[in-house]
Amino acid sequence: MKKTATRLADGRELIYYDARDDAARETVDLRPLSPVSTASEIRHDPLLGDPVVIASHRQTRTHLPPADACPLCPSREGRRTEIPAADYDVVVFENRFPSLVGDSGRCEVVCFTSDHDASFAGLTEERAALVLEAWTDRTAELSQLPTVEQVFCFENRGEEIGVTLAHPHGQIYGYPFTTPRTELMLRSLAGHRARTGGRNLFDDVVENERADGRRVVLEGEHWTAFVPHAAHWPYEVHLYPRRRVPDLLALDDGARGEFPRVYLELLRRFDRIFGEGEPPTPYISAWHQAPFGGWEGRGVERGDFALHLELFTVRRTSGKLKFLAGSESGMNVFINDVPPETAAERLREVASQ
């Protein structure tokens, strides 16, 4: 992998990740951009203790432009975009409309391919491996920022999810705090350790799912994918490396080498869940990594956390979505219409031949 860092016309950082070591990246951003103006603020809910990001400047962000006006496609004569080059493999750059900025953290965009009409599921294993390298490199870089405590790599796919740009891309958030969802995991982790005389909750969950077998979707030499026993979403898969590690940086060569094949297979199965003729399945794919700070007094150590990826869709059946209504949005009690065992069986049925 070759990494080339540059700056856009307004001073934001952009990084090319190329599979070829001899790739030349000397293109300059010629757009007459004004400096990025943001108004991000983190407030805390006194009842729940949750942080809430107020980012009013995002109201003006680009929303579902036509393909010939996509800001994530390569630049061409007469049409300058966020990526100055005429082609690229993988690109990461600072978001022009960030939710988190400065003392409030950092937001980046990850473009998986220059092909506007592609999807992650359609990438080659080599390209998926390059994306993994980019996620890992950005995790390493962002974790060194004094304002970042947790790094979150994720992809939103589909208008049903709320995607505002159709080009295949994801995002990376560097939070200045440990997120509420991770806080819940850490409390459960510490409680399980205390109750079981030191056993690890993540290890026990994976071992129990493998032993049960009914919800296991896919197993490799280094990865296990399963629908969790208490899945929140109609089709939800958790992907764990066999060897527990706290973050992407700690993955060994075996896990890195096998990941592209396993992950691409999961994404392709998701697109086949609802049968032929259905539009691509909307999904969220999210890496859960251990925070890089704030471990004092938790009752667990950073190495107790288990890196894993959670992949889920809001589509519950053909033409119908799972909406977060009263119970989910009002009380955070999920009601799932699809039994996890049924979801796992379907995801096994649509395996690649």
Residues taking part in catalysis? 169
Task: Quote the CA–CA distance of 316 and 281 in Å, as a whole number.
Answer: 10
Do 241 and 255 touch, CB atoms closer than 8 A? yes
Structure tokens at 204: 């026990």
Q: Which two tokens stand for residue 237?
A: 């898969």
CA 53, CA 42: separation in Å to the nearest integer? 5
Measure the CA dihedral 198/203/208/209, to 10°.
Answer: 160
CA atoms of 197 and 280, how far apart (whole Å): 46
239, exposed or middle or buried, with CB in 10 Å at 0-12, 13-18, 19+? buried
Distance CA 242, CA 89 (A): 29
Q: Are 190 and 299 in contact (CB under 8 A)?
A: yes
> Angle at Cα 113 formed by Cα 110 and Cα 119, nearest 5°?
95
Sequence-separated (6 or more) residues with CB below 8 Å from residue 243: 222, 252, 255
